[in-house]
Amino acid sequence: MATDRITPRDAARPCTAGASAPLSAFFAALTGAGVVTLLAAASTALAQPGPGPIDTSRIETAGKRSSVAVKSVPPTHAWHDGSATRMLTLDQTLEAHFPGGLLPDGKVLRPAGSTDRALAAQVSPVLRDESGRPRSLPGGVVVVLKTPMDEAGARALIGQAGAVALQALSDRLWLVQGPIGLGSLTLANQLQAGGLFESAQPNWWMPRTLK
């Protein structure tokens, strides 16, 4: 089971339902690229565990939905897809391990409780979205600025929101520091509610194919 990660040179689909045409064109040009980590340098510079690989193709839009059947289980968490609220359900049978580097295919997801407790900071719960697709939290939040901004201005704005800027992905798209696991989901929801950004969502990890 492979994961997708891309560099700022790679492509992705639009970040939010309300993103501008230039931003949509940026992501459309990136679709189908290979996998590398953007955060190797950032994670070594920060004391807390760095976020996992960023894949801007994970940035959802209201029209981008899996065909997997919807699970009839009560939701336990929520995230913001632009102006829409998307529900999530905790999968108590699985966990995801993000040790700070690339894992071999099929090694991210594992049975819940199987990772050594000493590595708890590298483990995220697995959540099922409205379509039943698993997704997890390797660390970090992706924010979309309301207007294009230079690096100094963007870092200042992100700092004003109480977050730490890690890396610019475009003149409107930034990766923000966040812990592995549910802490990044909480931070994303807080940044969304703060109103300083067009949108904020976790740096989702999702398997490319389901088994």
Structural domain range at position 144 = 38-52+78-202
The 10s digit of each residue's pLDDT in 128-156 is 999 999 999 999 999 999 999 999 999 99
Q: What is the pLDDT of residues 20-38, one digit of tens each?
A: 444 444 444 433 333 333 3
Q: How do residues 49-84 score in pLDDT, each as one tens digit?
A: 555 555 555 555 444 444 444 445 789 999 999 889
Domain membership of residue 124 (yes or no) is yes
33 inside domain: no
pTM beyond 0.85, yes or no: no
pLDDT at residue 121 is higher than 60? yes
Residue 63 domain flag: no
Residue type, 31: T
| Burial of 34 per CB tally in 10 Å (0-12, 13-18, 19+) | exposed
pLDDT above 90: percentage of residues in the chain = 57
Is 23 part of any domain?
no
pLDDT grade for 6, boundaries at 50, 70 and 90? very low
Position 47: which residue type? A
pLDDT (0 to 100) of residue 141? 97
Number of domains in the chain: 1
Cβ partners under 8 Å of residue 43, min gap 6: 49, 50, 51, 100
Q: How far apart are CA 86 and CA 133, in angstroms?
A: 13
